[in-house]
Amino acid sequence: MNEKIPIRNIYFKRKILPIEIFHNVLDKSYKLSHDLNSPVLSVVIGTKPDFYKQAPVMIEAIQQKLPAFVIDTGQHFDDLLGFGIQEFELQDHIACNLQIRGDLMEKASELILKFGSFGRYLKKNFGNSTQLLPIVHG
């Protein structure tokens, strides 16, 4: 007999932290990009080693007065692991904090979701006229 087996669904309800957006940093970068007719460097910093690898890129961009901002994944939200931001004085250049939390799989899925949301935010608020050049190490 071909008896129907009931299907059971597993539902997940996971609360995630919102993306913190610092619009003044974005405004400054996009205005400079427009003035220089230059792409905006968007430097992604995720882990403690990233601070040390990406900080020189951001510091040089600042010194050269290039349009640039930092996307902080927020994975290191404690003072000890997140100290690189203060150490290299990048806090004034953070355009968004994605506030990623969880285990490896949760972080991966949340990164995809939040990068997409941030991209849509940029498109809605700044349009398509400025090119972003993402810089990710790893």
Per-residue pLDDT of the chain (138 residues; tens, 9 = 90+): 555 455 555 454 567 888 889 999 999 999 999 999 999 999 999 877 888 888 899 999 999 999 999 999 988 666 666 666 777 778 899 999 888 888 888 889 989 988 988 998 899 889 888 888 888 876
Global pTM? 0.83
**How far apart are the C-alpha atoms of 79 and 76, rounded to whole Å?**
8
Q: What is the CATH number of domain 20-135?
A: 3.40.50.2000
Q: Where are the domains of the chain?
A: 20-135
